């Protein structure tokens, strides 16, 4: 993916790989803080990861996983309370494999029935890295979409995503509810979301 200076660099740089010798990448910092403040009970702000004991401490991670892992696809209670859920995922995510999002959604549909899109939708973003970045349009407003869905009952048929470079929108695309994808309508700029329609 292009770096700040326009040269190509690994999508893992600063996330999983350090950008310079001795630096800690973002995922390392996240994991270290998670362990210090959420896994350990009570929290230990000065905990050194090198003290991790594989014979003893993996049980702490298993306990935390019961709370944190998004593996339960039975969302019936959430649905009955009127909950609405929008999941977004980048097809170019270098941290979480993109098919994890698709797999969770498909399992949720299997668990909650074919009308699952009435309360839950997945939007895959082509070219988007982890939550943002990457070569594809990565700026969109899922928060307003879920608020409108809850307050007016209007489910989002698409999310407008933009790629912004130097403060200018250089490309836009509709993010479509899975399994739909954006198809070029055959007329207009390929950099304009208005030239695309969502279809399976």
Cα–chain center distance at 97: 10
Asked if residue 7 belongs to a domain, the reply is: no
- Would you state the pLDDT for residue 8? 59
Asked if residue 31 belongs to a domain, the reply is: yes
Contacts of 166 (CB under 8 A, 6+ apart): none
DSSP category for residue 194: G
Element (H or E) spanning 122, and its range? strand 120-125
Model pTM?
0.82
* Parent domain of 55: 26-68
Same domain, residue pair 47 and 102: no
Asked if residue 167 belongs to a domain, the reply is: yes
Asked if residue 123 belongs to a domain, the reply is: yes
Same domain, residue pair 102 and 192: yes
Same domain, residue pair 57 and 86: no
Cα(149)–Cα(136) distance, rounded to whole angstroms? 26
What percent of the chain stands above pLDDT 70? 95
Q: Is the pLDDT of residue 93 over 70?
A: yes
Cα(53)–Cα(61) distance, rounded to whole angstroms? 12
Asked if residue 114 belongs to a domain, the reply is: yes
Count of residues in the chain: 200
Asked if residue 18 belongs to a domain, the reply is: no
- Would you state the pLDDT for residue 9? 65
- Would you state the pLDDT for residue 171? 97
The answer to whether residues 167 and 158 touch, using CB atoms and an 8 Å cutoff, is no
Same domain, residue pair 111 and 168: yes
Count of domains forming the chain:
2
Higher-confidence residue: 7 or 177?
177
- Would you state the pLDDT for residue 7? 63
Q: Is the pLDDT of residue 3 over 80?
A: no
Per residue in 131-176, pLDDT (tens digit) is: 898 999 999 999 999 999 999 999 999 999 999 999 999 999 999 9
Asked if residue 15 belongs to a domain, the reply is: no
Q: Is the pLDDT of residue 130 over 90?
A: no
* Mean pLDDT calculated for residue range 41-65: 92
């Amino acid at each position: 993916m292009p770096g700040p200076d326009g040269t190509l660099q690994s999508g893992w740089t600063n996330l999983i790989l350090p950008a310079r010798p001795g630096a800690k990448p973002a995922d390392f910092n996240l994991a270290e803080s998670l362990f210090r403040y959420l896994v350990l009970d009570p929290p230990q702000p000065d905990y050194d990861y090198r003290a991790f004991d594989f014979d003893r401490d993996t049980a702490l991670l298993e306990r935390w996983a019961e709370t944190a892992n998004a593996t339960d696809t039975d969302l019936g209670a959430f649905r009955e309370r009127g909950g609405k859920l929008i999941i977004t995922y980048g097809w170019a995510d270098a941290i979480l494999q993109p098919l994890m999002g698709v797999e969770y959604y498909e399992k949720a549909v299997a668990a909650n029935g074919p009308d699952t899109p009435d309360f839950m939708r997945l939007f895959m973003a082509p070219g988007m890295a982890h939550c943002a970045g990457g070569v594809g349009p990565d700026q969109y407003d899922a928060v307003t979409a879920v608020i409108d869905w809850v307050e007016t009952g209007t489910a989002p048929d698409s999310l407008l995503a933009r790629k912004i470079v130097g403060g200018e929108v250089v490309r836009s695309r509709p993010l479509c509810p899975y399994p739909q994808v954006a198809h070029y309508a055959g007329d207009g700029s390929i950099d304009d979301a208005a030239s695309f329609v969502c279809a399976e």
